[in-house]
Amino acid sequence: MLLSSCHCTIVHPVVLRPLGRPGRTARRWAAMYHGPMTTRRDLGDFGERVARAHLEAKGYRLLATRFRTREGEVDLVAERDGVVAFVEVKTRRSDAAGAALEALDARKARRLLAASDAFAQRHPELPPARRIDLIAIDLDRAGRVRSVEHVENVVEG
Protein backbone atom coordinates (compact mmCIF):
# COMPACT_ATOMS: atom_id res chain seq x y z
CA MET A 1 0.00 0.00 0.00
CA LEU A 2 1.29 3.43 -0.89
CA LEU A 3 0.41 5.23 2.33
CA SER A 4 0.72 3.18 5.48
CA SER A 5 2.21 5.24 8.28
CA CYS A 6 -0.14 8.17 8.75
CA HIS A 7 -2.97 8.71 11.21
CA CYS A 8 -5.73 8.83 8.65
CA THR A 9 -8.03 6.53 6.78
CA ILE A 10 -6.17 4.97 3.88
CA VAL A 11 -8.23 4.35 0.80
CA HIS A 12 -7.25 1.44 -1.39
CA PRO A 13 -7.45 2.13 -5.13
CA VAL A 14 -9.94 -0.68 -5.78
CA VAL A 15 -11.89 -1.24 -2.56
CA LEU A 16 -13.42 1.91 -1.06
CA ARG A 17 -15.00 1.73 2.36
CA PRO A 18 -17.85 4.09 3.21
CA LEU A 19 -17.08 7.00 5.48
CA GLY A 20 -18.86 7.18 8.79
CA ARG A 21 -18.93 5.60 12.19
CA PRO A 22 -19.14 1.80 12.46
CA GLY A 23 -22.26 0.20 13.84
CA ARG A 24 -24.87 2.11 11.85
CA THR A 25 -27.86 0.13 10.73
CA ALA A 26 -28.59 -0.18 7.05
CA ARG A 27 -31.69 2.00 7.45
CA ARG A 28 -29.71 4.77 9.17
CA TRP A 29 -26.98 4.59 6.53
CA ALA A 30 -29.49 4.87 3.68
CA ALA A 31 -31.27 7.77 5.38
CA MET A 32 -28.05 9.80 5.24
CA TYR A 33 -28.20 9.67 1.46
CA HIS A 34 -31.84 10.61 1.06
CA GLY A 35 -33.06 12.50 4.07
CA PRO A 36 -32.09 15.51 6.10
CA MET A 37 -28.96 15.17 8.21
CA THR A 38 -29.60 15.25 11.95
CA THR A 39 -26.16 16.19 13.27
CA ARG A 40 -23.18 18.22 12.09
CA ARG A 41 -21.19 14.99 11.90
CA ASP A 42 -23.82 13.43 9.61
CA LEU A 43 -23.73 16.54 7.45
CA GLY A 44 -19.93 16.41 7.23
CA ASP A 45 -19.88 12.68 6.46
CA PHE A 46 -22.44 13.17 3.71
CA GLY A 47 -20.46 16.06 2.23
CA GLU A 48 -17.25 14.04 2.22
CA ARG A 49 -18.96 11.17 0.41
CA VAL A 50 -20.31 13.57 -2.22
CA ALA A 51 -16.84 15.12 -2.60
CA ARG A 52 -15.21 11.69 -2.96
CA ALA A 53 -17.64 10.74 -5.72
CA HIS A 54 -17.04 14.09 -7.43
CA LEU A 55 -13.24 13.67 -7.35
CA GLU A 56 -13.38 10.08 -8.59
CA ALA A 57 -15.66 11.13 -11.45
CA LYS A 58 -13.06 13.75 -12.43
CA GLY A 59 -10.31 11.09 -12.54
CA TYR A 60 -8.64 11.66 -9.18
CA ARG A 61 -7.11 8.78 -7.22
CA LEU A 62 -8.01 9.06 -3.55
CA LEU A 63 -4.97 8.62 -1.29
CA ALA A 64 -6.33 9.33 2.20
CA THR A 65 -9.30 10.70 4.08
CA ARG A 66 -9.48 12.65 7.32
CA PHE A 67 -5.77 13.19 7.79
CA ARG A 68 -5.28 14.73 11.23
CA THR A 69 -2.24 16.13 12.88
CA ARG A 70 -1.76 18.68 15.64
CA GLU A 71 -1.11 21.30 12.96
CA GLY A 72 -4.54 20.77 11.41
CA GLU A 73 -6.77 18.46 9.41
CA VAL A 74 -7.31 17.68 5.74
CA ASP A 75 -10.59 16.07 4.70
CA LEU A 76 -9.41 14.35 1.51
CA VAL A 77 -6.04 13.79 -0.16
CA ALA A 78 -6.20 12.91 -3.85
CA GLU A 79 -3.82 12.76 -6.81
CA ARG A 80 -4.28 13.36 -10.53
CA ASP A 81 -1.73 13.98 -13.27
CA GLY A 82 1.20 14.12 -10.84
CA VAL A 83 -0.38 16.75 -8.57
CA VAL A 84 -1.45 15.99 -5.01
CA ALA A 85 -4.59 17.87 -3.99
CA PHE A 86 -5.35 18.45 -0.30
CA VAL A 87 -9.09 18.99 -0.28
CA GLU A 88 -11.18 20.84 2.30
CA VAL A 89 -14.88 19.96 2.07
CA LYS A 90 -17.48 22.49 3.20
CA THR A 91 -21.14 21.50 3.29
CA ARG A 92 -24.02 23.85 4.06
CA ARG A 93 -27.75 23.19 4.47
CA SER A 94 -28.75 26.81 4.05
CA ASP A 95 -27.26 30.20 3.36
CA ALA A 96 -27.92 31.38 6.94
CA ALA A 97 -24.25 30.81 7.89
CA GLY A 98 -23.09 31.90 4.45
CA ALA A 99 -22.50 29.82 1.37
CA ALA A 100 -20.15 26.85 1.66
CA LEU A 101 -17.67 28.53 -0.65
CA GLU A 102 -17.31 31.45 1.78
CA ALA A 103 -16.52 29.21 4.77
CA LEU A 104 -12.71 29.13 4.37
CA ASP A 105 -11.08 31.84 6.49
CA ALA A 106 -7.40 32.81 6.91
CA ARG A 107 -6.97 30.76 10.11
CA LYS A 108 -8.30 27.61 8.44
CA ALA A 109 -6.10 28.27 5.40
CA ARG A 110 -2.98 28.40 7.63
CA ARG A 111 -3.98 25.14 9.31
CA LEU A 112 -4.55 23.47 5.93
CA LEU A 113 -1.10 24.55 4.76
CA ALA A 114 0.50 23.19 7.93
CA ALA A 115 -1.37 19.88 7.69
CA SER A 116 -0.49 19.48 4.01
CA ASP A 117 3.17 20.10 4.82
CA ALA A 118 3.02 17.46 7.57
CA PHE A 119 1.42 14.95 5.18
CA ALA A 120 4.03 15.63 2.50
CA GLN A 121 6.86 15.15 5.02
CA ARG A 122 5.44 11.78 6.09
CA HIS A 123 5.08 10.66 2.48
CA PRO A 124 8.16 11.75 0.49
CA GLU A 125 7.28 9.23 -2.25
CA LEU A 126 4.42 11.46 -3.41
CA PRO A 127 4.84 13.86 -6.34
CA PRO A 128 6.27 17.23 -5.25
CA ALA A 129 3.54 19.24 -7.01
CA ARG A 130 0.68 19.96 -4.61
CA ARG A 131 -2.13 22.36 -4.01
CA ILE A 132 -5.04 22.99 -1.65
CA ASP A 133 -8.54 22.73 -3.10
CA LEU A 134 -11.98 23.45 -1.73
CA ILE A 135 -15.12 21.52 -2.58
CA ALA A 136 -18.20 23.51 -1.59
CA ILE A 137 -21.46 21.59 -1.34
CA ASP A 138 -24.77 23.39 -0.88
CA LEU A 139 -27.86 21.39 0.07
CA ASP A 140 -31.51 22.33 -0.10
CA ARG A 141 -33.78 22.13 2.95
CA ALA A 142 -34.64 18.50 2.22
CA GLY A 143 -30.96 17.54 2.27
CA ARG A 144 -30.58 17.10 -1.49
CA VAL A 145 -27.44 18.35 -3.20
CA ARG A 146 -28.15 21.71 -4.80
CA SER A 147 -24.62 22.43 -6.04
CA VAL A 148 -21.06 21.08 -5.94
CA GLU A 149 -18.28 23.51 -6.72
CA HIS A 150 -14.62 22.46 -6.91
CA VAL A 151 -12.17 25.34 -6.61
CA GLU A 152 -8.58 24.36 -7.31
CA ASN A 153 -5.60 26.04 -5.65
CA VAL A 154 -7.79 28.03 -3.27
CA VAL A 155 -4.92 28.69 -0.83
CA GLU A 156 -1.60 30.10 -2.00
CA GLY A 157 1.44 29.11 -0.02
Residue 136 belongs to domain with CATH number: 3.40.1350.10
Alpha-carbon gap, residue 104 to 123, rounded angstroms: 26
> To the nearest whole percent, how much of the chain has pLDDT over 90?
48
118 assigned to some structural domain: yes
157 assigned to some structural domain: no
Our CA dihedral for 56, 63, 43, 110, rounded to 10 degrees, sits at -120
Predicted pLDDT at 102: 72
99 assigned to some structural domain: yes
35 assigned to some structural domain: no
> Does the pLDDT of residue 16 top 50, yes or no?
no
The confidence band for 139, taking pLDDT boundaries of 50, 70 and 90, is confident
105 assigned to some structural domain: yes
- Let me know: does 90 contact 80? Beta carbons within 8 Å: no
- Let me know: does 75 contact 51? Beta carbons within 8 Å: yes
The confidence band for 142, taking pLDDT boundaries of 50, 70 and 90, is confident
Domains in the chain, number: 1
Q: Higher pLDDT residue, 58 or 102? A: 58
67 assigned to some structural domain: yes
pLDDT by residue (tens digit) across 60-111?
A: 999 999 999 998 999 999 999 999 999 999 988 866 656 666 778 889 999 9
94 assigned to some structural domain: yes
- How does the average pLDDT of the chain come out, rounded? 78
Q: Higher pLDDT residue, 26 or 144? A: 144
The confidence band for 120, taking pLDDT boundaries of 50, 70 and 90, is very high
Q: Which domain holds residue 103?
A: 40-151
What's the mean pLDDT in 108-117?
93
Q: Write phi, then psi, for 104 (nearest 5 degrees).
A: -100, 110
13 assigned to some structural domain: no
Predicted pLDDT at 82: 95
